[in-house]
Structure 1
């Protein structure tokens, strides 16, 4: 069964803390799966967990904004997607899948983006 999460003002900050704590190991797994570099993983984590802009990521990582854009472009090429929204969507789908209880009768859902086939277990 799918779980929907509704975020209200009361639990918004608590939710952010949960996501940051919970996403660390998951982003590492996601990065390994898609062969992202440590710097690409760091940038993805900052954007996904903190909502940082390219400029904020650049300041945090002590690199230029142009370098951040190059890292983002490289991530999207490796994964075979064309937008940051699709990158976050794929990250979210993988996260949700990793949190779902594993069942013996799982089936796989696949989709194609940018000529690359992606496969996610559906429960």
Structure 2
């Protein structure tokens, strides 16, 4: 059995243009630096404390939505969604982005 995560290959290409991670990736490509000790580049991906850094692309919203309401998990609340997304991924505005998306989800009326 084999799995394939679509969309994650594009992440590598988007680091350079990302305002959150572009300078960090550039610095790390030249070698380890004391300014970015908690970051690591592996196979073209950037990690922060063992969590995948997600550049500022639509993948962020997708990851939040899938964690919040996707699959069979039901709808997690804001704090549980933040915890679940933070477990594997990192970007500076993660908590705010999750809170905003979950709040929008709560204000949209569902089917009756």
TM bracket (short chain): under 0.3
TM-score (norm: length of structure 2)? 0.28
User: Which structure has greater helix proportion?
Assistant: 1
Kindly indicate whether structure 1 or structure 2 has the higher relative contact order, using CA contacts under 8 Å at least 6 residues apart. Answer: 2
TM-score (norm: length of structure 1)? 0.26
